[in-house]
Each structure stands twice: as C-alpha cells, then as structure tokens.
Structure 1
Amino acid sequence: MFDLEENLKKLPNQPGVYLMKDAQEQILYVGKAKILKNRVRQYFRGQDGLMPKIRKMVELVESFEWIVTDTEVEALILEMNLIKKHRPKYNTMLKDDKSYPYLKVTVNEEYPRVIYTRQLLRDKAKYFGPYTAAYGAQELLYFIQKHWKLCKINKNQHKKGNRACFSYHLNLCDGLCVDKITAEQHRQKIHEIIAFLNGDRAELFREMEQEMKMAAENLDFEKAAQIRDRIALMKRTFEEQIISRDSKQDADVIALEQMDDRVLAQIFFVREGKLIGREHFNIGDPENLSLPELYAVFIKQFYLGATFIPKEIVIAEETADVEILQEWLSQKKEQKVHFILPQKGEKKKLADLAKENARISLLQMGATIRKQEEAAQNAMKALVQAIGLDKNEIHRIEAYDISHISGAYSVGSMVVFIDGKAKNSDYRKFRIKEVRGVDDYAQLTEILRRRFARALEEQKQFLLKNDLPAGKFISLPDLILMDGGKGQVGVAEQVLAEFGLNIPVCGMVKDDTHSTRGLFFQGQEYQFEQFPEAFRLVTRIQDEAHRFAITYHRKLRQEHQVKSILDEIPGVGAARRKALLQHFGSAEKVGQATMEELMAVGTINKRVAEAVYLFFHPEEKKESESEMNPLLNQ
C-alpha cells in the first residue's frame, strides 16, 4: 500500500521529474521541478488554487514516483522524453508531429551533390530550408537538376567514368559520370546553385519568363503553361520577405493565440534575413496552463525533434522557463541560442504579424477543427462503449492485416489511430521472413512478435539512457484490432501473453460481401446498430490496414516481376541486370533496344547482348535457326 504522507516526507530538495499514477499504475501526469519536495507537495496541500483539470487529476492519483537529476536542464530533457514516451492524459500535448524538408548541398564531398533530405546533420554540408511544402522542395530540386544538368550518379562512389548514366542519353546530364566535364567545372555549377538558393535568382526568372513567352508565340501553350506554373511554384517556395536590412541571421518567430479552450501556435521561419515560410500547430487541453507556460510547452515539444535550431528565437510574449530553455537549446545546438522578446523595430513587427496570423488562423480553423475532433472523439467513445471498455483508457489503437497471393510476397501492416485520427508517421510495414506458404496465423504471429520485441527493447534502451531511441515502436497500443475473427484474436492474445502484456484485442469481422460487420471481443461478436460512429471508425481502420498492406504487397510483386524477366536471360546475373536497368530505366526499354545500344552498356559483351536481344525478339531467333538449317524448311 502506497503511503502518500510518508512519501511526501521523503521527497528530496533536488531538481528532478515526478510521475503521478492512478490505481492501475497508469501514468496520469509527468512534470519537472527545480525542488521536487516543494513542487509535488503543492498538489496535495490545499487544492483551491488548482485548475479544475488538475484537481480532477489529483483525485485519481494513488501513487507517485520521482527521478532525481543533477540540474534543472536535465530534468527538462527527461520530462520531455517521458511525455513523448507515455503520452499522459493530463499533460498538454502538441498535436502536430512534423519534420520539414531541406535541400542539402554536399560541399564537403569531392563531387558535391544536391539532394532532398529531412535530416539536418553536422556534416559540413550546406542546408537550405526548411521548406514548409514538401512538393515545393521536390519541384525545386527537379528544376535544379534539369536546369544545371546535374548527374544523378554519386560520382564520389564511382570516380572512374566507365559508362554514361541514363540521363546522359536524354541530354539531362552534363556527362560528369563519364568525365565529360572536370571537377572544377562541376564545382562552378555548384557555386551557381548555392547563389541561386541564397536568393540570386532574378536573372534566372527573367530567362524562364522569356522562354515562356517564346513558347506562347510558337503556339506551344502547354509548354508555356508548365513554365508559368513552375515559376509560380518556385516563387511561392522562396517567399522572399526581408525582415531586417542589416541582419542575415536565422531566426524562428513564435506567437501563440488562445480563444476559449483552443490554443494555436504560429511559427515563422526566417533564414538569412528572409521569411521563407510559416507553419501553425494546435495545442491540446490548455486548461490548466497560463500563456507563458503554454509557450514553454510548445517550445519544448517543437524543438525536441527539430532538425535545425536557429541562433535566435523571437517570442511574441513572456515565456516560462526561458533561462532553462535557452540553456537546453544551446547545449542541443552546441552554440549559444538567444531568446528575444522584442519591444520595437522590425522583429517586434514580425512578432506582432505572427500573433495576428495565429489569431486569424484560429478563427478560420476553429469551427472546422472542432467539428473534426468532436467527430473523432465521439467515434472513439462510441467504439469503447459498444464493447464495454473504459473510454478514458483507450487513446492509441493499432490495427494489423496481412496480404499475399497463395503465400507469395507475404507482408504485414500496422496502422495507428490516436483519439480517432490516423497517425501516418506511426504506420509500419513488415515483410514476412520466417513463414513460407499459406499460413495466416503464423504470419500474424511473426509480425506481432517482431513488433512487441522491438517495443520492449526500445523501452529497455530508454531506461538505460534516459533518451528516446531511434526506432519508433516504443509506444504501446491501448487497443489492438485484428483483421479477422476469433482465430486472429487468439493469435494476438497468445503473443501478448508471451511478452507479459495485457492489452485488449478485438477482431474486425466481415460479412459475405467482405464489408465490416462487427467486432469480436472476449468471446462474443458486437454489432453496431446503436453505434453508427463506431461502425464508421472501425470500417475506416480496417480499410486503412488493408490498403497499407496491399500497397506494400503490390510494390514487392511488381519489383520481383521486373527483375524476374531479366533473370530468365542466360548470362544476365544481378550485376548485369542492375546495369541494364540503370542504363535503360525499365525492362520494357531493355526489350526495345538494338544490339548496338545493348553493347553500349559497360558490362554487356556481344554474346550477352545477343542473348538479351533474342530473348525479347524470339521470332528473329527462329529465322536465324531456319537459315542455318535448311532441312527445317523442307
């Protein structure tokens, strides 16, 4: 039995993290404290000053535990990691989980490349971004590759130019792959690209506009429209808006707006003095926090997984724990990070602009977001009510399905819904490795064992390092949905028992038309006549699990089909198959190639070229045999 008063006396006068738990040992809340004894005692020494939500949480607390740290900054980091791991009900959570794309110029390599990435590393490369629209960044990369005719082969790995890449034959590569240009000429192109990404693009836009006009004059309106759209997209992607004529600093500008029970954070991305984009985030359940505390919550959760931290963070209003946040971000960046609360000047204007944008976005989105979230929450409530579970305990649902054709190309899928909404970043796919042939139960057993083994291993690493591992299996579901009935449920329950886990499992039962009919749970089937919202949610989850599985299955099957065609040709092994596909782009184009074109591929000699050609042109093989043996014509 946990003695509350006795444990309150044991609390130390040190910084650390505390975890509030209910009667089922579920974590209700995670917090940090400069002095644990003072902070935790506040919850139980008179509740008149507590917010209603916190009072309700305290009523549920049956026990608590604490972790002592050396500094308050360490407590901050541990608190954020524990919140991300456990997602406690009474912690305010940032609802959006996004990473942003960058264009990376690998100036640290002998032959620099321009590539698309979502990871910002300390590797001496140049990064441009973040770009808030992934499509805009991809289109920009495509334009750079096409305009400067960049070779897509990594010359750093293939320094001897023994064969041209496929793009070279389409006049889309400058010939770096076959040493048609020197390393110095290539670096000059890279300097031009860097200047372009840094803002020196007026002349290029003029050239594109001239090309568009010429296309229109030649009545090639389709080409003119494509150029027009590309110019518009690039200008939107670059959105040049100078915030300071004297500053070339990188900065993030953060403003929050609160209306009733909704809070929206607006962040402007400023890179080298230019406003390049913006993004907004919804912050859930803000009832128990002041606005300065909400600023601190947003900053902690946003920068915990951020790939880039600017030197300046401009905040529109007072923020709690500024000194601790500043120290933490400086350690994370390995450079000094400054928080600025501007009172006048250009930065004050930009902070006010971010605040106004947050207000407008909140007004515009409020009704729509509220309607969507209410629908998702109602669906979750209806689902747990339909099968008799506690609605307060079910937040994360995982659904599993498998896909194969007569046991071939077998794959499994895991889709995740949190509070009734899909969380695509947590989806996982599995390629069946151990089971051969048609055995759905064995295949489900394999993917479930792999999933939960990974989860327990990551949790073990988390406890050892007090840090989140690179993998993303660490969060366990509150409810598991299996595509199938009693048999599939039994498989899942058996695997959970092996790992000592107690998670409810339902089977998504289908009717004769392969449509969702109900849920099989604890030995009986539940229908949805009285719960239409639950029916729609389960149908959506089941369809999504099936879609994700079959998409991966088709991808594997198509890849195998392309490879198997070339594998049937005598003399064509893995290396020659790869060379042919790289050179021609597809098996179909390999089949259309002439003998001379086939022999142009570096690893293909005359004998192999002839075998490839005759494989795709069997009628010519018969004619050749007929000419060599006149008796066949008699």
Structure 2
Amino acid sequence: MADPATYRPRAGEIPTEPGVYRFRDEHRRVIYVGKAKNLRSRLNSYFANPRQLMAKTRTMVFTATSVEWTVVGTELEALQLEYTWIKEFSPRFNIMFRDDKSYPYLAVTMGEKYPRAQVMRGDRRKDTRYFGPFYPAKAIRETLDTLLRVFPVRTCSAGVFKRAERTGRPCLLGYIDKCSAPCVGRISAEDHKALAAELCAFMAGDSKRFIQDLERRMKDAVANLDYESAARIRDDIAALRKVFERNSVVLSEDTDADIFGLVQDELEASVQVFHVRGGRIRGQRGWVVEKVEDTDTGQIVEHLLQQVYGEGAMSDRIPRKVLVPVLPDNTEELQVWLRGLRGSKVKISVPQRGDKKTLMETVTRNAEDAMRLHKSRRAGDLTTRSAALSELQEALEIPVPLLRIECYDISHVQGTNVVASMVVAEDGLMKKSDYRRFSITGEAARDDTASMYDVVSRRFRHYLAENFDPAAAVPDADPDRPVPAAGDGSAQAGQVHAGQASGPVADTLTAAPRAKFAYPPNLVVVDGGRPQVAAASRALADLGISDVYVVGLAKRLEEVWVPDSEFPVILPRSSEALFLLQRIRDEAHRFAITFHRQKRGKSMTASALDGIPGLGPAKQKALIKHFGSVRKLRQADIEALMEVPGIGPAMAAVIHTSLAEAGAETAPAVNMATGEIIES
C-alpha cells in the first residue's frame, strides 16, 4: 500500500474554489470521485491524519497513489461533473446505488399500424406510451395478462406477427381470446388501434368508465337471459378490479412522485423507493449499500438522486415531485439538474403531514425491513458465519476457536435504574435461551466501568460456583467487598483451559458441574472502549480466570479494543468479523434497553403511587389500567380520576395533588431536541 505522504499535494497547490477530485491507484485507475465547495479544505481532510479516517476511506487513501482535481465555476457544474465521472469510471470506493437493469414499464407502441403491448426497459422510443415504472417485472407481466381479457391487443413480436399473416393462423393467444388477432384479419387496423387506445386510457387512470360500461352490458345480458355472456362480462369486471386492487390509490389521482425512505447504521444504508403515478403505487425498488465515508443522510440522498435519475433519464421517467427524508445541502442545484434532465420543473421536498408523510413512514419501514433481512441473511449463512469467526479469531490473535461469545452492555438514565445485559452467540448464531439480565445497585452503579466490573464478576462467580464448590465463590460471600476504581487497567488476561481456574478456587474441585453456567465463553465482548475492557479484564483476573479473552467494541468509530493495548484493532468496514461483532453488540444493547425500560416503568409507577395515603395496590392497578401510563395519569384532572372505579372526589383530589408535587420533583432528563428520555 502507498503512503499518502508520498503523493500529498504541497501546501498552497490545491485551490480553494469548488471542484471535483479523483483518486487514482498505481495502475492509473480512478478509484474514488468526489466534489467539494472548497477543494483545499476537503482534500486536506484526507491527508491531515489518515489513520483516523473511517476504515474504508483509510483503505482508499492508502490504495491510491495520486490525486488530481478540476476546478469548476459553480456547485451545479461540480454536481454534473461528479456524476459524469462516476458514470464513466465506476470507482470501486464510491457509493453505488444502481444495478444492471433499468425499471420495467408497460409500453404500448401507438406509432405502429397494429399497436403492441409489452413490458419494456431501457430508453424511450418515439410514439410509444409508457406506464410505470413497475417492480418487480413479474407484477406488470401478471397485470398485462389480466388486462388482455378485456383489452385483447397484440403482444407478439414482429416475427411472430408476420408468420401468422403468411400462414393465416393466429398464435395461441388468438385462440384463447387474449388477442384480437389482427394478423389474420379478425379486427381492422383502425379498431385495433382504438382498442389499444382504450388500454392506454385505462392504465392512465380512467378505470371507472370501463367498469361502469361493463356493468351496464352485464345487466343487459341478464335482462336478455344471455347468462353465458353475463358470466363472461362478470369475469372481465373482476379482472379489471383485480388490477386496481394491486395498485390502490394512496395519494390524490393527479400525484406523480417518487418517495424515498432511508435507514442507516455505521456501515451500511438501506434505501427503498415507491413510484407513485396517478396517485397509485406503480412500483417499488430498494438497495442496501455499503457506506464509504462518514456521510450524513443529506449526502446519501444527494448520491442516491444522482445515480437513480442520472442513468439515461428522459423527461417522463423523472416525476414532478421527489419526496426524501432529509433535504441535501445543495437541494437547489439538484432541482436545477433534474429539471434539465426532465425538461420541466422538479421539486425535492420533505413531507411534513398528511398522506404523503404517512406513505413516507411506510417506505421507511420497508427500508428497515430490508436492512434487517440483509443482515439476517448474512448472519444465517453458514459459510459467512464460519468466515466471520475465523477472521475475528485471526484478527485478535486468539489461539482457540470462538465457539461461544458473550457480550455485555450497561443501560441507565443518568445513573438511575442501572441494568446490564448478557447475550450469547454460539457458532455465530444468537442463543436466546442463555441471555441474562442484571440489576446493579449500590457502589457498583456509580459509573459504567464499576458496573461492568460488577456484572462480569457476578456472571463468572456463578460459573465458578456451579462448576466447583459453592464455597469457592468467596466474592459472593463478602457483600462489602469494594469495587476497584474505574480505569485501573493493571490486570490482564492469560490462558487457562475452560473448566479450570487458578488460585484458591483450583483446590476446591468437587462434584460434576451443573448446566446453568457450565459452558464458559471463549470471548467476552463489552460495549465500550479501554475503560470498560480494563474493568472486565480485571474482574476475570481477580477471580483467577485467565482463559477467557476480552475485547471492547467502541460505538463511535467501531474500534476493537483489547486489554493493555494503546491502540485499537481496526477491522475493515466490510469485514464479516466486524458485522458479527456489531450484530452481537446491537443485540446486547437492545436487550439491555428493553430491561431498563421495564424496570424504569415499574419504578416510576411505584414511586409515583406508593406514597399516596389511602391508595392501595388494587386502586393503583385500576388507575394504571384505566390511563395506561403514569404520564397520562399525571395529566388527568380530578373529574377524569373519578371515572376510575373506587376513586371518589376526596381520593381523586389527593391523587391529583400528590402526583403534581411528585412530578415536579422527579421529572426525568429529556433530550430537548427530540423529546425523548435520555438513556445510555
């Protein structure tokens, strides 16, 4: 790998104007393209301290051997040039949203003598009506097959059509009445074109007219006792309604919009888009992409719109409205660029209320589901799990296979209701039956490192007590045993086989081990950095356990910390080992937060209601059942309290006064930006 210092531009060489830059590797291949309002400031950020960059960005900087730039006049020009170069060079380190297929459309070739209905991709053709986009293609194929019952237009290729003309025999669709067979003269060219026009009108949204006409014809057939024709028309009506059941109206019928939903974590972003045409969802598409730099949501949206609409975009492929979760910084330039591609105005906005905001939430839920599915598929693949475990073992230089991994996380609200979680992964899969929850009180709850020491000590004291003489668990027998000071990293882990212990415990082996905690982990993962790792290592060392290895995964930069190391282990951002650690850490965090919220809810209920004179457990339960939460109970007035069975005017007044006083004294800490209770 190249040293960035060898190709770093000299001071003052880089201009301060807006522009676009390219990193090239030793073979002169472009590996990354970016744009900047100030080229000097942006490029200097890559070279100031390359080892502190995100892992993939750092890899890019060390893979490159040169950097070059082009100054442009405006940010719009920079946007256009950046897209052009990304499209031309397909740099390996850029975020890429496109796949190798364009969206499928239902196309009707109205410019031909005998118009043809077909599913079409690619660039637009003259005198052809397009409807869509639809995704997946199977959906529009099924829709077209259903529509052919009512609008039997030609769907065959030119070769099949000419062969039928020569032989005088239609294709199979002509025999089963799903084609009007203009190839053999069953319908004139003018009538066939009119039939194709009706299909286009139906797809454009004029459905009621056709359904009402069919209903009238069905009634006439019944009146004439032509029940066979009436049954056939009834089936045609059902077919048309089935088409619109698949595409129900979600917005006003004059709405053409693409609605994007996005979720992301430290490594990846999941994007979903709903294509709404004529107020109906005509298609859906999604991507899960790897993040290259520490980009915010606005920057991801910018790259997304560039790549979704830039590839061969024509006027009617870009809608009038593009709804996104967050506006990019250069929204005005993006709108001008899209207007140039579409030929008319395009508005990029964030929905604030109503049906559009509700639909945006639905799209975002789809993105969340896609992200979960993506991660679960990676987790569920045996080969991937094996590779992740082997890669992690090699990166941490652990001599034994990582058959069992335990992860610990601490959760609290400003030091109150402190709890911890322990989750277990065996062979790379989560084993929920072995999860444990811990409540932390007293001196151990004073900070995260003391809590981590307490939890790890308690877990492994249980292990020692179950595998050896319970009297060996000396720390449990001494409730006044002090918790070591936070941040003391003097202890370190060594190597002893599972099932063995050093020090006084080793002399107390007795009966066969019990099953509850009999199987110790090979690796302990803690949520945190050096202090938490030091606390967990110290807990194991104090118990004489030295064959369990400890690492910490720090959230901000996803660094892996090991005991007594000044620098973290940096795993590649795309490595399966890092995905495995993140998945286990996130599960521990979820489990801890869930327990913390349960405990906090119970404590808030108890503290709020227990001290009220004359209010016993039965009435407390009735109040919570009626209002649903303490928060709503505090907001209730005396009349609302009296609606609860057993609560009279005097008791309601006492409850109202007590809750008002208690709420003023014990209000939880709240994030003023989001309105959420602060948790850690």
Which protein shows a greater Rg? 2
TM-score normalised to the size of structure 1? Answer: 0.49
TM-score normalised to the size of structure 2? Answer: 0.46
